[in-house]
Amino acid sequence: MSNSSTPLSNDSINPSSPESDRHDHPRRSLVDSVKLPVQFVSFWGAIALPFAHLPLLAQGLGSPQATLLFLVLLTANALALYVGHGYKR
């Protein structure tokens, strides 16, 4: 029996070649350079956006425009919380 062919070979799992790393590096660098500022703005936006709700709630949500604006602000706040949750961890 020979050990050259095994029933469970890992031929499909190859270590990444230097050539593929070269192509991935600029994209990764761009993502890394944009990630921190986006998280920063999202984090502080999530803190500041609830203060925009206060005048709407004080005025009341009687009109459809005020209700729509409230829901848009609420959605923006939830999105900012999701994007900014990893800032400075």
What confidence tens digit (pLDDT) does each residue in 72-86 have?
999 999 999 999 988
User: Is a pLDDT exceeding 80 seen at residue 9?
Assistant: no
- Lowest mean pLDDT segment, chosen from 1-10, 25-34, 49-58: 1-10
Q: Write out the DSSP string of 14-36.
A: -PPPHHHHHHHHHHHHHHHHHHH
| Range in 21-25, 40-44, 52-56 the model is least confident about | 21-25
pTM: 0.62
Bigger pLDDT: 24 vs 79: 79
Mean pLDDT estimate for the chain: 81
